[in-house]
Structure 1
Amino acid sequence: MSTHHPTPGHPDPASPWVFGTRELGRRPGSMRTYQRTISAPAEPARLGLDTIAVPAGEPIELDVRLESVTEGVYISGTVQAALTGECARCLDELTDEVEVEVSELFAYPDSVTDETTDEDELPRVVDEMVDVEQTVRDAVVLALPLAPLCRPDCPGLCPECGEKRADLAPDHGHETLDPRWAALRERLSAD
């Protein structure tokens, strides 16, 4: 008895990111909708950036439509997930949510689109399946801020002492002395 193991480049039918297209056939206009909740992957396949990401194991809500078109299967819909990260100014932990639109054409094998595009330009329908993981990953990562903030007016950290400016008194400051006068100051304070 043989066990099915997906080969590289072929979608794993057991993956929650993979959708079968057999029911659609190749009749342009045929459509199916799906709602799935998928657990966010952990490292190294983490969904996000170093500063903000969907935490491993958190639910990712997919609401997608698969539509058969002349050249392949067109995927469209929305992705929603919770985010955690670190404020780029004050380094506090932050939480947020992301909701993004996804849309991608998966080319049929031997279609004009398949023959006229490179493998890395457009995903393909393989063995009557589409794997939307990279499409979702690209959409989510592009929607994330490169420098997430805990709030839009976050004052950040004091560059002198490293304390959070939000916790400091309004008159907080540090005496800055021109290093050229330091020796004179030392001499005067010694007397």
Structure 2
Amino acid sequence: MNVTAAMTGSQPRRRTPKGPLVLDTRELGRRPGSMRPVRTQVELPADLGTEMMWVAPGATGTLDLRLESVIEGVLVSGTVVAPLQGECARCLEGLSDVGTVELRELFYYPDRAADMSQEDEDVRVLVDDHADLAPVVRDALVLDLPLSPTCRPDCAGLCVDCGARLDDVGPDHSHARSDPRWAALSGLAQDTPTGAEQGPLDPDENKEKE
């Protein structure tokens, strides 16, 4: 921890954020009502998504945003469009989609944020007049993704016996299954000796041979 910051009770200085989703707001100034549109394409971070649906590494997203200066800071609103890829939760086939999320986030000026509770982790703060949208986009996109995506609503999934994709093998696909109760009886029959293995059934036959 910075010794000077600890003695004065102030927070240590943050480094200027960098990355494709960092927006420079210096052109707005601090005059409430100033507005600037941002329409651009950027390379999205590779860690966006879930186990079943995610943004492909190196994928390009489209930003259509508006930066607006307000008393507390800079309000960022608009949409982010991201190409997605993943796996069908039923048949595990690859699939692709396009995700569109709405953003509306207020980035506070540092002096305004200092007056707020330090326990509020959701407060976004401008650092050197730069707004880092990466965590905002990540939260919005991940919450919008389906937990169990499907290649189509009526996907039949996989055969539980052989793993074949049921939409490929057709409705007549099946496997012969024996009743486990009959299987147990069959096992008992195989263990029971028959014919000569059983020996004479009449105990008097043994006396005659003697």
TM more than 0.5: yes
Give, as a single letter, the amino acid of the residue that structure 1 aligns with 2:24: G
Relative to structure 1, the CA distance from residue 11 to residue 177 in structure 2 (aligned partners, 3 Å threshold; closer, same or farther) is farther
CA distances 1:138-180 after superposition (whole Å, capped 9, x unpaired): 1111111111110111110111221111122323223333323
Give the TM-score normalised by the residue count of structure 2. 0.77
Conserved 8 A contact 2:158-2:165: yes
Query: Which amino acid in structure 2 is aligned with residue 158 of structure 1?
Result: C
What is the rounded CA distance, in whole Å, between the counterparts of 1:12 and 1:51 in structure 2?
Answer: 30
Correspondence for 1:165: 166
- Paired positions, count: 179
CA contact (8 A) 2:67 2:77 kept: yes
* In 2: Cα distance, 1:114 partner to 1:67 partner: 21
Deviation at 1:113, TM superposition (A): 7.8
Question: Given the alignment, which residue of 9, 12, 16 partners 1:11?
Answer: 16
For the 8 Å contact 1:86–1:92, the answer to whether it is kept is yes
Higher alpha-carbon Rg: 2
Note the 1:94-173 alignment, pairs <5 A: 94-111=95-112, 114-116=115-117, 118-173=119-174
Amino acid at match of 2:163: G
For 1:66 and 1:130, locate their aligned partners in 2 and report how far apart those are by CA, in whole Å. Answer: 10
Deviates more, 1:78-87 or 1:170-179: 170-179
SS in 1 for 2:27: coil
Identity %: 50
| Counterpart among 34, 39, 44 of residue 40 in structure 1 | 44
CA contact (8 A) 1:11 1:131 kept: no
Q: Which structure 1 segments of 5+ residues have no match?
A: 1-6
Q: 1:34-77 CA distances to partner (integer Å, 9 max, x unpaired)?
A: 112111223xxx11112111101111111111111111111001
Is it true that 1:26 corresponds to 2:30 in the alignment?
yes
Matched, 1:175 2:176: yes
Alpha-carbon distance in 2 for matches of 1:149, 1:118: 40
| Aligned equivalent of 1:3 | none
Mark the CA change 1:170 to 1:8 in structure 2 (over 3 Å): closer, same or farther: farther
CA contact (8 A) 2:74 2:108 kept: yes
- Name the structure where helix makes up a greater proportion of residues: 2
Deviations 1:69-98 (CA, angstroms, capped at 9, x unpaired): 111111001111211111000000001111
Q: Deviations over 1:79-124 (max 9, x none)?
A: 1121111100000000111111111111111216852363521110
**Farther off after superposition, 24-33 or 103-112:** 103-112
Q: How far off is 1:9 after superposition?
A: 4.5
> CA 1:77–1:140 in structure 2 vs 1: closer, same or farther (change >3 Å)?
same
| Contact 1:47–1:54, Cα closer than 8 Å, also in 2 | yes
Query: Does the 8 Å contact 2:44/2:61 carry over to 1?
Result: yes
